Chain A
């Protein structure tokens, strides 16, 4: 790993970005003595850069080169106290004691006023605060203040062996539990010198894709709720329930808790279970298609979606937006294309037909991705029963490991650093964390009553970001 002097750090990052690398995660390590930057190459090869924090607690900011690292720098400041020279103003992210003026963008002019919403919302929704700067119904700007659910999970995981750390990190978020856990186990297995066999990879692919299925069904229901279309919402909630029951049947938990472990899988699907599962998934798929056709031809529903909450391709690249939100803007970016798991071989990401990056495109994107997941699952189940699997020890232990996974909400990275047998640092950066800044950008210029719809079209987890 390169340990770059502060003086050349920015130049190095600039060169890497020009060569097609992208900044994926930035965090404080070694007790706040260094900042690490995770870069991924065009084929998702990974690289960790380190820069030493100087005597004043400062490091050069790279937020102007890679705006996607804006939240990461703010988090490192709030949790570890380091200063990022050039990141101005360095607004608080997790520090809720900071005064209002310090974390909101000043909005001046004729008639603007603020609408404060949350942290408690009107439905069954996670907690988070949005401060809208509006004129009448028109949103000029949104400042999101999340991290009400910050549980200090990374810190709690540190100092314990990888298996105990997984138990903590896996509960960062129920919706992306499998994806986050696989990112963690991938990193942990590198540190332990374990290689994932094709059978173990197959079990994990199955779990990752059934997690994507229930999430995407849930997210389509959420968009329907966002426009108050009860029939569509209820219909897709019923399908979500069917997918959760499938989870329960195959993995013993409706949200798949406990299904991912380091170096092994205990998932068993015998011939009967494989047949039942394939049939059930095919029926859910068929019903989802019926539902989608009804939504597609419901003009009063579709009228609410066009040109609302736009995140276009240049914005995707600038903000580091990932997952369905990026693909809905035509950016065919998906960690599965470079996954070593055999069932993802030849995977080509699908992008929405309009590539408009609006609510309609993000909704259609879920439908297109559902089809891909059902295809992947169908092919996987066609190749026979799923049996318990273990990883093979065929490499030396490593002090660090990196896991990359495509969660239902996009690229998720997990970096683990070890000291002997214990995890000394873990950083989980989820698709939701990457995409929250895009929600604020998407909302600007739209009407306040459309914000719930815009928010639902991203359907990001607060728990995933807050940790």
Chain B
């Protein structure tokens, strides 16, 4: 255990990640509405040690009840539609929705049309678009910083 912690501290030092200049925070709830798992794999690493989104007060929380932002991946499938709405309505106000990845944005949707309800914007009011296939951890960080810096919602 000591070795792991020592190596991680060394990695942290070598990476020289900039210190946060913000005092605000944002709690994020992720919902996979029909992705290929690429967005999930990249989002997982965005909260890993090389990017460490937590240092900006960005954290992934376990329940929509705790969340400021609903981060939705994938084109919304017919089978995920109801669950996505339940998660959204469980969030406290004010709440934001981020469409994460090209599929969520409706770009180059792959599949049979009758399997989908449509891009996230057809189901929920979207405040932030994060394009990419999938968005890289750097792009994820930049996009979420915009949301955290926005004093009032863009819609």
Binding site for B on A (CB under 8 A): 96, 119-120, 122-127, 147-153, 155-156, 167-168, 171-175, 177, 218, 231-232, 234-235, 237-238, 240-241, 244, 254-255, 257, 287, 290-291, 293-294, 298, 461-464
A152 touches B31 (CB 8 A): no
B36 touches A463 (CB 8 A): yes
> Measured between alpha carbons, how far is A464 from B41 in the docked complex, in Å?
14
A234 CB contacts on chain B under 8 angstroms: 4, 8, 48-49
> Measured between alpha carbons, how far is A69 from B5 in the docked complex, in Å?
46
Q: Is B74 an interface residue (CB 8 A)?
A: yes
B4 touches A232 (CB 8 A): yes
A124 touches B37 (CB 8 A): no
> Measured between alpha carbons, how far is A462 from B77 in the docked complex, in Å?
14
How many Cβ-Cβ contacts under 8 Å join chain A to chain B? Answer: 138
B48 touches A152 (CB 8 A): no
What is the 8 Å Cβ interface bit string for chain B, positions 111-129, against chain A (1 contact, 0 not)? 1101110000000000000
A155 CB contacts on chain B under 8 angstroms: 112
B7 CB contacts on chain A under 8 angstroms: 235, 287, 290
Give residues 33-75 of B contacting A (CB, 8 Å): 33-45, 47-50, 60, 62-63, 74-75
Looking at B18-26, B79-87, B146-154, the stretch in contact with chain A turns out to be B79-87
Indicate which residue in A147, A167, A172, A174 contacts B41 across the interface (CB closer than 8 Å): A174
> Measured between alpha carbons, how far is A463 from B73 in the docked complex, in Å?
12
B60 touches A257 (CB 8 A): no
27 contacts between A and B (CB under 8 A): A120-B31, A123-B62, A124-B30, A124-B43, A124-B44, A124-B60, A126-B35, A127-B32, A127-B34, A147-B79, A151-B75, A151-B77, A152-B112, A153-B110, A156-B110, A173-B36, A174-B39, A174-B134, A177-B38, A231-B5, A237-B45, A238-B48, A238-B50, A240-B48, A241-B45, A255-B41, A287-B7
B79 touches A96 (CB 8 A): yes
A148 touches B83 (CB 8 A): yes
B37 touches A175 (CB 8 A): yes
> Measured between alpha carbons, how far is A123 from B50 in the docked complex, in Å?
19
Q: Is B3 an interface residue (CB 8 A)?
A: yes
Known: A174-B134, A238-B11. A152 touches B115 (CB 8 A): yes
A294 touches B1 (CB 8 A): yes
B31 CB contacts on chain A under 8 angstroms: 120, 127
B1 CB contacts on chain A under 8 angstroms: 231, 294, 298
> Measured between alpha carbons, how far is A298 from B49 in the docked complex, in Å?
22
* Minimum Cβ distance to chain B for residue A213 (Å): 14
* Minimum Cβ distance to chain A for residue B42 (Å): 7
> Measured between alpha carbons, how far is A152 from B34 in the docked complex, in Å?
11
Give the size category of B's interface with A: 35 or more
A149 touches B34 (CB 8 A): yes
A293 CB contacts on chain B under 8 angstroms: 3
B115 touches A150 (CB 8 A): yes
B49 touches A238 (CB 8 A): yes
> Measured between alpha carbons, how far is A417 from B90 in the docked complex, in Å?
46
B110 touches A151 (CB 8 A): yes
Known: A156-B111, A294-B1. A174 touches B48 (CB 8 A): no
Known: A122-B63, A124-B40, A156-B111. A241 touches B4 (CB 8 A): no
B37 touches A174 (CB 8 A): yes
B8 CB contacts on chain A under 8 angstroms: 231, 234-235, 238
Residue of B nearest to A235 (CB): B4
A149 touches B80 (CB 8 A): yes
* Minimum Cβ distance to chain A for residue B53 (Å): 12
B60 touches A149 (CB 8 A): no
Residue of A nearest to B112 (CB): A152
Q: A147-B79, A151-B110 are in contact. List 15 more A-B contacts (CB 8 A).
A: A119-B83, A120-B87, A124-B30, A148-B79, A149-B32, A150-B79, A153-B111, A173-B37, A174-B41, A218-B44, A234-B8, A255-B38, A257-B38, A294-B1, A463-B36
* Minimum Cβ distance to chain A for residue B137 (Å): 8
* Minimum Cβ distance to chain A for residue B118 (Å): 13
* Minimum Cβ distance to chain B for residue A451 (Å): 16
* Minimum Cβ distance to chain A for residue B135 (Å): 10
Q: Is B17 an interface residue (CB 8 A)?
A: no
B43 touches A294 (CB 8 A): no
* Minimum Cβ distance to chain A for residue B36 (Å): 5
Q: Is B107 an interface residue (CB 8 A)?
A: no
* Minimum Cβ distance to chain A for residue B11 (Å): 6
B133 touches A127 (CB 8 A): no
A119 touches B50 (CB 8 A): no
A151 touches B30 (CB 8 A): no
> Measured between alpha carbons, how far is A244 from B50 in the docked complex, in Å?
12
> Measured between alpha carbons, how far is A232 from B137 in the docked complex, in Å?
21
B38 CB contacts on chain A under 8 angstroms: 174, 177, 255, 257
A151 touches B115 (CB 8 A): yes
> Measured between alpha carbons, how far is A209 from B85 in the docked complex, in Å?
40
> Measured between alpha carbons, how far is A287 from B47 in the docked complex, in Å?
20
A151 touches B60 (CB 8 A): no
Interface centre among A123, A151, A152 (most CB of B within 10 A): A151
* Minimum Cβ distance to chain B for residue A251 (Å): 14
B4 touches A240 (CB 8 A): no
Residue of B nearest to A464 (CB): B37
A127 CB contacts on chain B under 8 angstroms: 31-34, 80, 83
> Measured between alpha carbons, how far is A350 from B25 in the docked complex, in Å?
47
A237 CB contacts on chain B under 8 angstroms: 44-45, 48-49
